[in-house]
Amino acid sequence: MRVTRTAVLAIGSVFVLGVYGVLVWNAPRIVVGSSRLRAITDAGQRATVEYNARVLMVSLAGAVVVVVGLAFTARTYALNQRGQTLLRRGQANERFSRALERLGSPELYVRIGGVHALEHLQADDPDHHTNTQQVLIAFIRERTPRTRTHTSPQPGRWMHPPTPHKSEPEALPVEPDADVQAALTLVTRASTQTSVRTDFQRLHLGGADLYRAHLYRAHLMGADLMGADLGGANLGDANLRGANLRRANLLGANLGRADLTGADLRRANLLGSELSHANLTGADLRGTHLIGVELSSANLRSANLHGANLSRAVLSRTNLTGADLRGADLNGADLNGADLSRVIFDDSTRWPSGYPVPPRRPQTF
């Protein structure tokens, strides 16, 4: 015969109550002891001792019940919390899966909804931050065109003659699509940063809105950021080798220790930016406004600063070896300890007042 749970509880309760009754009834013997109890001859005193012993036993039993109740409550709470955690995790995983489905939709508005769904998931479940960052970076890389390299083959290296009337490549977008821009905003938000390193190498991100973006130590080598808004962005220690930052807004941006080797910064707005210890070897800074910019200990070796405005710029301990300073304005600049060996300059170069002009490098044309 199958014993029901109710029957087991009933039998157990009767047993516990029976044990409790026996303990209370025998409390005087247990607490005082049989021999000491028999030694009390006065009936009133004996009744008082027995009463106090039973009260003590009842109190002890009550304390045990309280302790057991607390333990049971704690266990129930822990189980409920575990259940809630598993439920939330399951709901988060379901939301994550639905967001991924939206990101793969052919409809633009559905993809934007998928990005915002991941944004809400990040806010509700911090455990999904790393996963959502990885997905969003992959989404950006998948839906963003690559930069183009304009390299011509060396004469005599053709395996076959070039095909005549080859169709022109599709024009690159002026700015990212709305879904990509939404993903960029979320990925580069400082509050959502994880250990995932941002990798936008060789992506065409021209005209992107990256205002105050957190791109510390980001991989942006060869990226096209022409005309992008990077005002106030954190690009410290970022890899921007060969990046196109032409006409980009870098007002107040942090580029300290960034690698800008060979980067194109023509006509970029760098006012108020931080470029100390940055590597600008061979960078193109023609016509760039660098008024009052912090460039101490930066490497500007062989950089093209033709026509750049460097007035009041901090260039102390800066390596300017072989830099092109023709037409550059260095009026009021701090050149204390700067290396100006083999620099190229002409009569239109403006030097700080009282600064000893270095020997002019002979030019060959």
Give the tens place of pLDDT for each residue, 305-332.
999 999 999 999 999 999 999 999 999 9
Rounded CA gap, 129 and 248, in Å? Answer: 30
Q: Can you read off the two tokens belonging to residue 281?
A: 């070897």
Cβ(285)–Cβ(308) under 8 Å?
yes
Q: Name the pTM for this structure.
A: 0.72
Q: Which range (148-152, 174-178, 241-245, 327-331) has the least confidence?
A: 148-152
Rounded CA gap, 136 and 142, in Å? Answer: 10
Rounded CA gap, 6 and 250, in Å? Answer: 74
| Predicted local distance difference test score (pLDDT) of residue 95 | 87
The chain-wide mean pLDDT, for the chain, equals 85
| Predicted local distance difference test score (pLDDT) of residue 295 | 97
Q: Can you read off the two tokens belonging to residue 128?
A: 């999904």
Domain edges within the chain: 5-92
Backbone angles phi, psi at 204, to 5 degrees: -85, 105
DSSP-H helix ranges across 3-42: 5-25, 27-31, 34-39
Tens digits of residue pLDDT in 165-211: 455 566 888 899 999 999 999 999 876 666 788 999 999 999 999 99
Facing residues of 239 across strands?
219, 259
| Predicted local distance difference test score (pLDDT) of residue 149 | 58
Which has the closest alpha carbon to 200: 240, 251, 260, 252?
240
Rounded CA gap, 85 and 75, in Å? Answer: 15
The per-residue b/e assignment along 141-180, b for 16 or more CB within 10 angstroms, e otherwise, is eeebbebeeeeeeeeeeeeeeeeeeeeeeeeeeeebeebb
Rounded CA gap, 359 and 314, in Å? Answer: 22
